[in-house]
Amino acid sequence: SVLKMGCVSSAVEKKKKRFPRSLTGAPFLLPTAPSFLRQSMEEWFALEHIRPEIIGEFDDMATLFAFGQAGGGVFPASAVMAKELTKQYRVRVLGRLETAKLRFFAFTSSSEPKHPVVIRILESAKQRLAA
């Protein structure tokens, strides 16, 4: 499944006006390489000619979110996660990155899961991620 991405920050007013151009020089918090999210963001930066100032790289996303909440910088999040992050970490969405995508995979032991709980989980995930 593919998710749309967005940028999130605790300080948004100045950055929101000229988004995404306002992200050039902005302090950014990113996951460490070689994560898919990091790769997707680097591709998006290049495509949009954005040159952020990467001030933090994190192996752990919860730590990255905590630094973002404390005003440490702008960070990427999927549109699905952004809803929860705005509640839990009191951050705001700066804007959507229409060309940046995240991929999620679900693995099962067979090509057609038979257990009703597994089927419900997969169906629910497809609906939430497609929103």
Q: Give residue-wise pLDDT tens across range 70-127.
A: 888 899 988 778 878 888 888 888 888 877 777 766 676 777 878 787 788 788 777 7
With a cut of 90, say whether residue 128 has pLDDT above it.
no
pLDDT of residue 53: 95
pLDDT, tens digit, 9 for 90 and up, residues 53-71: 999 999 999 999 999 898 8
Residues recorded for the chain: 131
Strands (E), 32-91: 53-58, 75-78
CA 18, CA 57: separation in Å to the nearest integer? 25
Q: Give the predicted TM-score (pTM) of the model.
A: 0.74
25 HSE (CA, 13 A, CB side): 5
Phi/psi of residue 36, each to 5°? -65, -40
Strands 2-9 and 75-78: antiparallel
pLDDT of residue 104: 64
